[in-house]
Structure 1
Amino acid sequence: MSDEIWDPGLQSERTRLAWVRTAVALSSGGLGAMGLSARHGLPLGAIAAFVPAAFCGAALLLRTGIRFRRVQEALHGGRSVDARLDALLAWLGTLSVVAGALVFVLVLA
């Protein structure tokens, strides 16, 4: 049994695609929710609740290439990978979607 972290499989590529899907869902979901809120005539505060989701998704999407190279270098070098910033961006984006949806429902109710 080997002590190497690196596995020649496609795990890092699948992880990269998962991050891309998360980023696209956050950015397009945030933009779509802002448009839906604006069409329903909600106040600016309700529309602005979705802005962080769009920005977090865009930031994650921009970081995808950098993150992939860092993951590859870490795996080939036998080091651990630090994804705390990306996890924080995903968490903040998801939290803003939930907050925006709550505001959307409360205003329309």
Structure 2
Amino acid sequence: MSEEIWDQGLQSERTRLAWVRTAVALSTAGLGAAGLALRAGLPPVAVVGFALGALCGGVLLVRTGTRFRRVQEALHGGRPLDHGLDAVFAWFGTLSLVAGACTFVLTVR
């Protein structure tokens, strides 16, 4: 009896939904905060930080379908998974939103 790493459960689908939630959160938070920063007249650094976060979220959202297919192929083929580039986009987007939020907090009193 051979042991496979593939499980018939919905783990891949749940992971895909988690990436989609992350991408949508980055995009909507970035766009909303960028609009708020523009209306409040904050320095361009804050607006750029929020816009970069929204852009990273958009890139993650676009890559979701491709990533899901790669994960499925890797699982069925017994190959290791690689989320390196996607993790960098999620990290950079989050860092950009934090930088914009810090600028917002330090500027508005």
TM-score (norm 1): 0.95
> CA offsets per residue over residues 50-109 of structure 1, 9 Å max, x none?
111011000000000000000000000011100010011000000001100000000102
Compute the RMSD of aligned alpha carbons: 1.2
Query: Unaligned stretches of 5+ in structure 1?
Result: none
1:43 Cα deviation from its structure 2 partner: 2.1
C-alpha distance in 1, partners of 2:3/2:93? 36
Q: CA deviation at 1:44?
A: 1.9
SS at match of 1:12: helix
Whole-Å separation in 2 of the counterparts to 1:62 and 1:16: 12
User: Contact 2:60–2:90 at 8 Å: present in 1 too?
Assistant: yes
Distance 1:2 1:49, change over 3 A: same
Post-superposition offset of 1:32: 0.4
Q: Aligned to 2:81, what secondary structure does the other structure show?
A: coil
- Mapped to 1, the partners of 2:64 and 2:22 lie a distance apart of 11
**After the TM superposition, which residues 1-109 of structure 1 pair with which residues of structure 2 at under 5 Å, given as runs?**
3-109=3-109
Equivalent pair of 2:46/2:99 in contact (CA under 8 Å): no
Give the whole-Å Cα distance in 2 for the aligned partners of 1:92 and 1:44: 18
Give how far 1:28 is off.
Answer: 0.8
Cα deviation for residue 22 of structure 1 reads 0.2
Q: 1:98 to 1:2 in 2, by over 3 A?
A: farther
Tell me how many residue pairs correspond in the alignment: 109
Paired with 2:54 and 2:100, the residues of 1 have a C-alpha distance of 12
Scaled by the length of structure 2, what TM-score is found?
A: 0.95
- Sequence identity, in percent? 69
Alignment partners' CA distance in 1, 2:94 and 2:53: 7
- Paired with 2:94 and 2:69, the residues of 1 have a C-alpha distance of 25
